[in-house]
Amino acid sequence: MQIHSPIPELRLALMKRGRVVFVPTMGNLHAGHIALMTAARAHGDTVVASIFVNRLQFGPSDDFDLYPRTLKEDCEQLAAAGVDVLFAPTEGDLYPEPQQYHVEPPASQNQLDGEFRPGHFRGVATVVLKLFNIVQPQAALFGKKDYQQLMVLRNMTRQLALPIEIIGGETVRAADGLALSSRNGYLSAAERAEAPRLQRLLQHVSAAIRAGETDFARLERETSGELDRHGWKTDYVAVRRQADLQLPDTGGKQALVVLAASRLGPARLIDNLEIDAPDGR
């Protein structure tokens, strides 16, 4: 596996490498990231990963300084997964001067995660567009665990007419259902044992909707309350349309997704579960 930091060096290395498939990450890799790397192989000739902890997407109270940096271990995992090229820029490589041009997603960024992390998706969209311009891939993979992020980046790519196919990777889970996340490492043993409750409750919401429940606001309140009764601090539980993350149509029969974000101890955990429309509707 080749490893490059300077942008000109990376661009030279990617010349005449066929169809490039790109998987951006912030490092501290787990099996969910590696699943994306493995899936990427089916979509092109050269798999490129990046590792960069992007300051622009962290708010003042977020964990930028504490976010785990594990480059040596990450490189070993990427090489074992068959990644061809790793782009591991320094902050000076990617932001040699203060970033004064930004990508501003539409107002819909300010709902759900965007409501509780102001400016987060602005920072994500800006760095991803910059990475796209550097790597110039023909396809890029992002995990569905960050469902709203996937939608923001898919819409950005379409509206800016970027020649890049955006592919969503399924969420990888531990045996007890907890979605894998770099932030799971913040949990104590007791918190880790409690953490699967989030996915169990989303499964309960999904089952209720499949059984015909349409009072989504009640399901959201009850789920949030159940989490908080067990020591969580919930930002939101929301049932939305898969197509655009807007409120479901009244009486509509569309594909839905239930999303949640809640703090357990020092970790803010997010998860979601897709609820497909019944066949033939």
Q: Which residues are catalytic?
A: 33
Residues 144 and 171: beta-carbon distance below 8 Å? yes
CA distances to 55, 109, 117, 127 from 99, rounded to whole Å, are: 11, 20, 19, 10
The per-residue b/e assignment along 37-68, b for 16 or more CB within 10 angstroms, e otherwise, is bbbbeebbebbbbbbbbbebbbeeeeeeeeeb
Residues 75 and 86: beta-carbon distance below 8 Å? yes
- Contacts of residue 81, defined as CB under 8 A and 6 or more positions apart, other chains included, come to 34, 37, 38
First to last CA, the chain: 47
The amino acid at residue 64 is F
Instruction: Using alpha carbons, select from 130, 134, 40, 132 the residue that is nearest to residue 78.
Output: 40
Q: How many CB atoms lie within 10 A of CB 207?
A: 11
Residues 140 and 164: beta-carbon distance below 8 Å? yes
Structure tokens at 4: 């490059």
CA dist 117 and 114 (Å) reads: 5
CA dist 8 and 38 (Å) reads: 27
Alpha helix positions (H), 136-281: 147-159, 189-194, 197-210, 216-229
